[in-house]
A and B are shown apart, each in its own frame.
Chain A
């Protein structure tokens, strides 16, 4: 069956940031330049082609965009200035919106105003909720311990509830991603991946998640380093908040067993987000040359969250409890929209999709025909 071309898709992708796709004339220079383009996975030219033709199903089933780290080598080599690197970035945005079953992601990527409005709304609701909680049950002059304005056990409970919802949302999207890339693709090509392979390769998920090993293969090491620091800082912070929130918030004396990690992570977060914002403003590096509005919203949120986190800590140690509590509320006004909106519906979803893509890519290589020929299915009885 012939696949129907959809010339309109390229217009749609423009809103996700892909503006120069039509300029590509398929010389293949980009695929030759890309350090990750190997074997049966030749990109980004192939993705450019699928996009030009508007082959939506193919694109949905492509893992290639997640295998790209936007080193920009391809865009540098392109004789037509078709910006293949930016196309891969835009495809990641588009795929995020495709995996997301709610349609919220699509709305956010196509309209930064909607995303901003949602962020502000959630921030406002957060503020109202926590202020109510504070004024009804606590005292704004107390930061921690009994009678605290925002008691850590309540915040902790809230964190876990939110995490649960997020995990459910993200998991549904991940299953959809599996369906597009392995399930449906496999059914159409008459192949499947044996369960034992899923199990045997499962280690790839935490491996890629924590080490970002693939990223390190890029020629320029700095982007990988920045990304690794940002990611590890975030992860550290997440662990601290999810498991050690009480000791984080207690004080004023410093609990070095927890706070040492907290300081390191805070420095990492502030430094890397500041660096990224500076890079984007200056268009300093390939991956910063084009910025979608969603990139800015994400970065600013993260910076605000990290900054107010540090601020409340300092204020608390300085015995300025009221100010510390206000900073805490502002901090939460950043944290909640960041987690509720960015993780399942926007840029942060890549923290799940990228490692998954590498895992799935490995599995795709191990797919076998679904209906095995009779003679191989039954091993010889005598030997």
Chain B
């Protein structure tokens, strides 16, 4: 092999890398490595000037390999691949050395971190010499989409795609559409009706020529890859578009069709919009939920408002109402995160109460008031103007609710160590509303496994990048929208749904999609037909050709995990871009 001409680009990542790693020392070390024609450092390699520098060097200095020492390849490999491609270099001639996540972010000692960075760069330089030019493949993109969940997010995404003229299969577990929003009365902060928001959407979905809704249905399996998925859906009675297709009045009930016959659907993309469930308030004992009859959850209050009857179990109008925030949220014991919508929902209740029960006193007991959304601060202000009494309790210092004494003019008393006054106080209450938070649905792990996406520690689905790629997932072709990814309000859920639809429409518009050229190959001459790899492949990407007694990798399904490569007793399997020479060269480089 001819001596390659390698360009090494060390990124300072602002100060992210440079504050620990001595980038100039890394450049000097790289300059001394065999085959390195250029080595340099720059503040932000991923910026346009950074990329242009690589392109110019490839063209002017006749480079044929590029090493970028920067962040994780998960972050910017595609960026730099595109850059080298621009200079007519094969994109697989690029190798990245992760000196941020694997180095500067995890080490404090500058000297040792710099040594490690040099080692990682050396490994990349050694490896890249053995890279081969690979061509990624194009596969057809099926324009149909499977939407999981018929809440506001799922409905919006489905309509967006269907209006563009593409087929959508909308699978809803419950026997009605609308999701949790169907249980809500007015919506914060503009006090428009949830029913109005949903009605038109549900109506259109049910009558849309391009939407096939399945109610009380469940996806049983999803196979294939982006552009070419096959889903099996269990449908009650075999037909989804039943008559029970209206907005429901109660919580999501699992559809109960007796006979379930599966339908097989061909789709190119999947949107997961399976939403959330509410926190179970009875898990917190101080609040007496389940024991004190007039302690209710926000959803129970929504129902009261929808029915137009705000009263205690004794049938009286409450004179004092207390609203308790962060039930199950922002606590060490339950969920550490903020559920994001309950603060504004609480303010909405204050307004609803003041207009429905004139003369009633509303106490709003919060930890902090989170009023960050558009129009929300103003809503908060207006809630003060209608004389809502705001009180602040300490995180993890729960208020305690107890029954009042016979002589009191209220049914219950809430003891709070109130932060804004520094006093231990008692709030009178006839009705207590617990602002229950959102949590991941009980079956979210199952859904995650089914569509091949991951969950964070709280069970929410993980996006590809929290800031730059919030609706894609690490599984190409599978998108997430709405509250299944994290608590959010209606505007954010809708925005995500539309974003996911736009991403899919972009793929459909291109007609075909590029599939990574990295996959495993079986040398049929060497394969003994032992079939060990067949069972091992987690993606069922290996088929056995009985007539030839050989195994074969279906390249489009292979994710290049390498399990089969390591397991094959005949050494017949080779992973493209992860060949033995490449890996050994890398090891030598690290250890040198």
- Say whether A and B bind each other: yes
B215 to chain A, nearest CB (A): 45
B277 to chain A, nearest CB (A): 32
Instruction: List the one stretch of B52-60, B119-127, B414-422 in contact with chain A.
Output: B414-422
User: Which one of B361, B384, B387, B421 has the highest number of Cβ atoms from chain A below 10 Å of its Cβ?
Assistant: B421
B345 to chain A, nearest CB (A): 19
Interface residues of A in 1-53 (CB under 8 A from B): 1-5, 7-8, 10, 22-26, 46, 49-50, 52-53
A59 to chain B, nearest CB (A): 12
Mostly, the B contact residues are strand
Q: A350: CB under 8 A from chain B?
A: no
Encoded as 1 (CB less than 8 Å from any A CB) or 0, chain B from 371 to 396 comes to: 00000000011001111111100000
State which of B361, B369, B415, B420 has its C-beta within 8 Å of the C-beta of A49.
B420
Question: Once the chains are docked, how many angstroms separate the CA of A271 from the CA of B428?
Answer: 51
Establish whether residues B384 and A80, one from each chain, have CB atoms under 8 Å apart when the complex forms: yes
Question: Once the chains are docked, how many angstroms separate the CA of A55 from the CA of B420?
Answer: 13
Establish whether residues A55 and B384, one from each chain, have CB atoms under 8 Å apart when the complex forms: no
Question: Once the chains are docked, how many angstroms separate the CA of A7 from the CA of B386?
Answer: 13
Establish whether residues B361 and A55, one from each chain, have CB atoms under 8 Å apart when the complex forms: no
Encoded as 1 (CB less than 8 Å from any A CB) or 0, chain B from 391 to 421 comes to: 1000000000000000000000101001011
Question: Once the chains are docked, how many angstroms separate the CA of A1 from the CA of B425?
Answer: 8
Establish whether residues B415 and A2, one from each chain, have CB atoms under 8 Å apart when the complex forms: yes
Question: Once the chains are docked, how many angstroms separate the CA of A46 from the CA of B418?
Answer: 13
A20 to chain B, nearest CB (A): 8
Establish whether residues A22 and B415, one from each chain, have CB atoms under 8 Å apart when the complex forms: no
Question: Once the chains are docked, how many angstroms separate the CA of A7 from the CA of B388?
Answer: 9
Q: Specify which chain B residues have a CB less than 8 angstroms from the CB of A2 in the assembled complex.
A: 415, 424-426
Q: Specify which chain B residues have a CB less than 8 angstroms from the CB of A49 in the assembled complex.
A: 420-421
Establish whether residues A7 and B320, one from each chain, have CB atoms under 8 Å apart when the complex forms: yes
User: Which one of B363, B369, B380, B384 has the highest number of Cβ atoms from chain A below 10 Å of its Cβ?
Assistant: B384
Question: Once the chains are docked, how many angstroms separate the CA of A22 from the CA of B390?
Answer: 9
- Known A-B contacts A22-B388, A25-B390; A53 and B381 likewise in contact (beta carbons under 8 Å): no
Establish whether residues B363 and A7, one from each chain, have CB atoms under 8 Å apart when the complex forms: yes
Q: B423: CB under 8 A from chain A?
A: yes
| Range, interface on chain A | 20 to 34
User: Which one of A10, A25, A58 has the highest number of Cβ atoms from chain B below 10 Å of its Cβ?
Assistant: A25
State which of A3, A52, A58 has its C-beta within 8 Å of the C-beta of B389.
A52
Establish whether residues A53 and B421, one from each chain, have CB atoms under 8 Å apart when the complex forms: yes
Q: Specify which chain B residues have a CB less than 8 angstroms from the CB of A7 in the assembled complex.
A: 320, 361, 363, 389, 428
State which of B386, B388, B426 has its C-beta within 8 Å of the C-beta of A5.
B426
Q: Specify which chain B residues have a CB less than 8 angstroms from the CB of A8 in the assembled complex.
A: 361
State which of A4, A10, A24, A25 has its C-beta within 8 Å of the C-beta of B428.
A4
Question: Once the chains are docked, how many angstroms separate the CA of A128 from the CA of B574?
Answer: 120
| Given A3-B425, A23-B385, A53-B423, 19 new contacts (CB under 8 A) | A2-B415, A3-B423, A3-B424, A4-B425, A5-B425, A7-B320, A22-B384, A22-B386, A22-B387, A22-B388, A22-B389, A25-B380, A46-B421, A49-B421, A53-B421, A53-B425, A55-B425, A58-B423, A80-B381
30 contacts between A and B (CB under 8 A): A2-B415, A2-B425, A3-B423, A3-B425, A3-B426, A4-B425, A4-B428, A5-B363, A5-B391, A5-B426, A7-B320, A10-B387, A10-B389, A22-B384, A22-B385, A22-B388, A23-B384, A25-B369, A25-B380, A25-B384, A25-B390, A46-B421, A49-B420, A53-B391, A53-B421, A53-B423, A55-B421, A55-B423, A80-B381, A80-B384
